[in-house]
Amino acid sequence: MKLCTIPDCGYPADAARGWCRTHYKRWNETGDPQAHIPVRRTMPAADRIEDFEFMLDTGETVPNAVRRMRCSAKTIIRAYQRLGKPIPTALFAIDRQREDVA
């Protein structure tokens, strides 16, 4: 697998010019890949689920665990879906509450 040719990027070069999607998109929209701006790294789904379940195992409530993860319930739900693991039903309730407020 080829990596993005932007120094210190490290993402797969799956777009034209030998760049990752983010750098290519930046170049396509602005004419500059903006190599000086780091690409935001996201937590892999398995790590996200492991951290979330650790919080639940140590007595944290689901709403508090979601807040401490600093992401939405929908993000955690997607991580469970990617891994094919059963989703705690309380996450759906939190996600619905957020939609009702918006």
Per-residue pLDDT tens over the stretch 29-80: 888 888 777 776 677 788 888 889 998 999 999 999 998 888 889 989 998 9
Distance CA 98, CA 73 (A): 9
Higher pLDDT, 91 or 8: 91
Same domain, 78 and 32: no
Same domain, 32 and 70: no
Same domain, 52 and 34: no
Number of domains in the chain: 2
Same domain, 69 and 23: no
Distance CA 19, CA 9 (A): 9
Same domain, 33 and 64: no
Same domain, 15 and 50: no
Task: Answer whether residue 98 shows pLDDT above 70.
Answer: no
Same domain, 27 and 67: no
Same domain, 53 and 34: no
What is the amino acid identity at position 75? T
Largest pairwise CA distance in the chain: 50
Structural domain containing residue 94: 45-101
